[in-house]
Amino acid sequence: MKLNHPLNKGSRGTKFEKKVWNYLITIKKGSIKTYKQVAIAINRPNAARAVANAVGKNPLAPKIPCHRVIRSDGSIGGYSGKGGIKTKKKLLKKEGIIV
């Protein structure tokens, strides 16, 4: 982990949650992934629900861009950051993603 990495600033979470959050940082601006795709990417292909729970506990939204993760059915899912789903839609729209 890099020294200026957002998770180095005293974030609390389980090993699994931090693994998910670290992956979220790699999702490029203007891109989206599903919870299932994140689970596969972290080598936990059957853990989509656990990934969704970890994403929901993200302590540094939107710095850790959990707004870039949606449901497999294409629906937006939740957003635990300030402003909830309204903010998630706004952030995605700002990145050129129409939801």
CATH number of the domain bearing residue 53: 1.10.10.10
Structural domain count, the chain? 1
Q: Which pLDDT belongs to residue 75?
A: 95
Q: Is 4 inside any structural domain? A: no
3-state secondary structure string, 59-92?
CCCCCCCHHHEECCCCCCCCCCCCCHHHHHHHHH
Under-70 pLDDT residues of the chain = 1-11
Check residue 48 and give its pLDDT.
Answer: 97
Cβ pair 77, 70 in contact under 8 A? yes
Domain that includes residue 55, residue range: 11-94
Residue 42 located in a structural domain: yes
The catalytic site residues sit at 66
What would the pLDDT profile of 7-31 be if each residue is shown by its tens digit?
655 568 999 999 999 999 999 999 9
Residue 3 has what pLDDT? 41
- Asked, for residue 3, whether it belongs to a domain, the answer is no
Which pLDDT does position 53 carry in this prediction?
97
For residue 17, is it within any domain? yes
Tell whether 73 is covered by a domain.
yes
In a domain, residue 5? The reply is no
pTM flag (> 0.85): yes
